Structure 1
Amino acid sequence: MRNFQRHLAVACCLLSTAAYADNCMMGCPSGVNNGKTVTRSVYTLKNNATTKFADWVAYHVTSKTVSGPTRKRTWKTDPALNVSNTLEPSDYKNAHATIHTDRGHQVPLASFSNAADWAQVNYMSNITPQSSDLNQGPWNKLENAVRKYVKSGHDVYVISGPLYENYFASLPNTGKNHTIPSGYFKVIAEKSGDTVTASAFIMEQTAGRYDDYCDTEVTVNEAEQRSGIDMMPELSAVDEPEVEGTLGGLMAGLGC
């Protein structure tokens, strides 16, 4: 019986790992070592104990994860992280009124509204203080464009994360040391057979609500250089220049 239970536990672990590995395409991002990697059914993220925010999140959007019912934003501290290494809901008190930020999802809730584990998107490890104009404007429009593309018969892998290139603001009611991002990157990739296609975007916290997300396209290489992150570490040296060094990628599919 003990041997059977041991084999069953191993089998369950392997199945779980296989499911979670699907959050990343061409390997999960690498290059940032200050923090803990948390892997769940709907995303994988790398928490940064110094900034208190995830350095990157990786997730897979499919027709099966979108188009669910409207879900509530019930904020919770991430149970997988030491409370000193992440923020809690109370740390955001008065943030909107004083520094004009929203609790911005890095993995968007709407992209997993039909997933069983959708509530895990509301953990604070997946949240950053994102300027309201950015969060409700071009960033939201890009996420909507991703979902529209998926609903047209595609599935995509996304990597999002913060940039720390200048001072933006500080949360007014927390005693925890933290660093609010000055901007964000988003890399959207798709694989068809052996062909990988990708587009990258960088948006600043100072973005206007009516800015066009299409104007924020950059190469994947630029997003990597500015973030210090290798987005697709298993991409071959032969494919890298075409996939990560050029513009265009998925832009037509994303409405640009």
Structure 2
Amino acid sequence: MRKFFLAVSLVLTSFSVFAVNSSHCPHSCPSGTPSSNFVVFRAPYTLSNNATTKFADWVAYRIAPDTIQGGRSRNFRADPLLFSSRTLEPDDYTGAHAQIGTDRGHQAPLASLGAFSDFQALNYLSNITPQASGLNQGPWNILESRVRGLVQGGGFNEVFVQTGPLYEFFFAELPGANERHTVPSGYWKVIYTNVNGNIQTAAFIMEQTTPRSSNFCFHQVTIDEVEARAGLNLFPNLSGASTVERRTGFLRNDLGC
């Protein structure tokens, strides 16, 4: 079975010039990643793995009332669909919290997608990055909670999210890693809703050095800025994307800003 999935991934890599379609990406998934990236499709998320950094360039997921469940275990392990040369293993994170102050941060959040029967796939290290504890447990965590709130009484039946890393300055290296990797300098997150054709979005960028006490609302940016800094086209098939991507403020009140 492992060989079958790997064969599929190589086909996706070879033909990466074509749009990547997924139920987690309402207007096709982000484009602009290296042609060597490996796209992984799973029920809770879709991601694009980068063999050079060892992390996903983007992760896309859909949150709905029936995807949310807290209290799930965090059994971290290497992604069985990826060659070991493309991803990290649990031992690579040894000493990371003590020496560089990072957690194993989920890109697709466990609490938002824990109701999936294969929720353990959220703990694969392909969906994990070394995220500064202050950021992971502070404003990033609060933002993810507010996004869940959009479908927990916030008036939305579903919310689509894309998230990923930035590499704009050197932050740290994993002290226990025995292979080359690049720890992100920051992260971006874009939230998308569409209610009867009324598209609302919000975009955020936070650096690893963001203080735990920082208000996530102060980190709102345009989608255009995310795309420019990440080198991606986030909604390649969205009609009228230029209008949506250059504005801010939508979903601001819904997120509590």
Scaled by the length of structure 1, what TM-score is found? 0.89
> 1:197 Cα deviation (Å)?
1.3
Q: Which runs of 5+ in 2 are unaligned?
A: 1-20
Deviation at 1:117, TM superposition (A): 1.6
RMSD between aligned alpha carbons? 1.0
Matched residue, 1:44:
46
Q: Based on CA coordinates, which of the two structures has the bigger radius of gyration?
A: 1
Identity %, equivalent residues = 50
Q: Is the 8 A contact 1:243 1:249 kept in 2?
A: no
Q: CA deviation at 1:69?
A: 4.6
Matching residue's letter, 2:189: K
Q: Note the C-alpha offset of 1:118.
A: 1.1
Secondary structure of the residue aligned to 2:251 is coil
Measured in 1, the distance between the counterparts of 2:231 and 2:196 equals 29
The amino acid of 1:216's aligned partner reads H
SS at match of 2:164: strand
3-state secondary structure, aligned to 1:70: coil
| Residue 225 of structure 2: aligned partner | 222
Q: Following TM superposition, by how much is the alpha carbon of 1:25 offset from its aligned partner in structure 2, in angstroms?
A: 1.6
Write the letter of the residue equivalent to 1:107. Answer: A
Kindly indicate whether residue 201 of structure 2 is the aligned counterpart of residue 178 of structure 1. no
**1: CA distance, partners of 2:245 / 2:70:** 36
The one-character-per-residue Cα deviations of 1:65-106 (angstroms, maximum 9, x if unpaired) are: 01x251000001101110111001110000000000000000
Equivalent residue pairs, number: 234
Q: Which residue of 2 aligns with 1:208?
A: 211
Q: Which runs of structure 2 are paired with 1:39-188 in the superposition (5 Å)?
A: 39-66=41-68, 68-152=69-153, 153-154=155-156, 155-188=158-191
Q: Is the 8 A contact 2:193 2:201 kept in 1?
A: yes
Structure 1 residue 241: deviation in Å? 2.8
TM-score by length of 2: 0.89
8 Å Cα contact 2:201/2:244 also seen in 1:
yes
1:241 aligns with 2:238: no
C-alpha separation in 1, matches of 2:148 and 2:237 = 25
Cα distance, 1:242 vs structure 2: 2.4
Question: In the TM superposition, what is the alpha-carbon distance from 1:21 to its structure 2 partner?
Answer: 2.3
**Paired residue type of 1:50:** T
In structure 2, how many angstroms separate the alpha carbons of the residues matched to 1:21 and 1:101? 31
Q: Which residue of 2 aligns with 1:14?
A: none
- The residue number in structure 2 matching 1:193 is 196
- The 8 Å contact of residues 145 and 254 in structure 1, kept in 2 or not, is answered as yes
Aligned-partner Cα distance in 2 for 1:241–1:162? 22
Q: Which moved more, 1:190-199 or 1:132-141?
A: 190-199
Give the aligned residue type for 1:223: V
Deviation beyond 3 Å, 4+ runs, structure 1: none
What does residue 9 of structure 1 align with?
none
Give unpaired runs (5+ residues) of structure 1.
1-19
Describe the SS at the equivalent of 2:66.
coil
